[in-house]
């Protein structure tokens, strides 16, 4: 079987008066991530991993933040567009493994909802989308609650 791997990383700044959207799920919190789109770091890291696996660069290339069409864009919708590229190239997702680096809030209660959202877009079983979360141990920009980061690894399998 022909397989391809991809990895992606994303970082966004945390600021007041923004919604916190992670993995397509709105999480009640006093701050949210700043960006041209909804700044969903999880969807961005995952989209970059998928694009990497098919050798299609990164989301900055496909959805430039200088383009007003993507202002306030839902990143789960962008992930759907990326999945269309993946399918057009003749691949399906085997599994995805994600790590979210965030000091606060506790993400455990939202993990299943994120898994469901992402699995629906990736067209896999929720068990094939693993989501891990870790704090920054009060160190660095994550630990100081200045931002969040996400990392993603995906495996693609050829459809034929
Ligand atoms: Mg981003």
**Separation of CA 160 and ligand 1 centre (Å):** 32
Q: What CATH number does the domain containing 97 carry? A: 3.30.1330.50
Q: Which domain, by its residues, includes 11?
A: 3-158
Q: What pLDDT is attached to residue 137?
A: 97
Angle of helix 75-88 relative to helix 111-122, nearest 10 degrees, comes to: 40
Distance CA 42, CA 11 (A): 9
Q: Is the dihedral of CA 37, 38, 39, 45 positive or negative?
A: negative
Kindly compute the dihedral angle of the four CA atoms of residues 68, 69, 75, 76, in this order, to the nearest 10 degrees. 170
Query: How big is the chain by its Cα radius of gyration, in Å?
Result: 15
Residue 73: per-residue pLDDT: 85
The CA 123 to ligand 1 mean position distance, Å, reads 22
pLDDT bucket at 7, cuts 50 / 70 / 90: very high
Ligand 1 centre to CA of 122 (Å) is: 19
Residue 132 has which token pair?
A: 């891990």
- Expressed in angstroms and rounded, the spacing between residue 9 Cα and the centre of ligand 1 is 9
Cα of 46 from ligand 1 centre, angstroms: 10
Q: What is the 3-state secondary structure (H, E, C) of 65-96?
A: CCCHHHCCCCHHHHHHHHHHHHHHCCEEEEEE
Q: Which residue has the tokens 């916190």?
A: 20
Q: What pLDDT band is residue 61 in, cutting at 50, 70 and 90?
A: very high
Query: What's the pTM?
Result: 0.96
Q: Is 50 helix (H, G, I), strand (E, B) or coil?
A: helix
Residue percentage of the chain with pLDDT more than 90: 91
Tokens standing for 84?
């269309």
Residue 60 has pLDDT above 80, yes or no: yes
Q: Compute the distance from residue 144 Cα to the ligand 1 centre, in Å.
A: 19
- Summarize pLDDT for 106-152 with one digit per residue, the tens: 999 999 999 999 999 999 999 999 999 999 999 999 999 999 999 99
Domain count, the chain: 1
Ligand 1 centroid from CA 44, angstroms: 5
């Amino acid at each position: 079987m022909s397989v391809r791997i991809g990895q992606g990383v994303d970082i966004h700044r945390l600021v007041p008066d923004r919604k916190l959207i992670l993995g397509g799920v709105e999480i009640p919190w006093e701050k949210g991530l700043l960006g041209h789109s909804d700044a969903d770091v999880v969807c961005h890291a995952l989209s970059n991993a998928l694009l990497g696996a098919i050798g299609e660069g990164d989301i900055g290339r496909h959805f430039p933040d200088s383009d007003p069409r993507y202002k306030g864009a839902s990143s789960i919708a962008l992930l759907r567009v990326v999945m269309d590229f993946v399918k057009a190239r003749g691949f399906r997702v085997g599994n995805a493994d994600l790590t979210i680096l965030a000091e606060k809030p506790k993400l455990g209660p939202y993990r299943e909802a994120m898994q469901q959202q992402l699995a629906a877009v990736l067209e896999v079983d929720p068990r094939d989308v693993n989501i891990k979360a870790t704090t920054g141990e009060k160190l660095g920009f994550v630990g100081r609650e200045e931002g969040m980061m996400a990392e993603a690894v995906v495996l693609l399998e050829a459809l034929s």
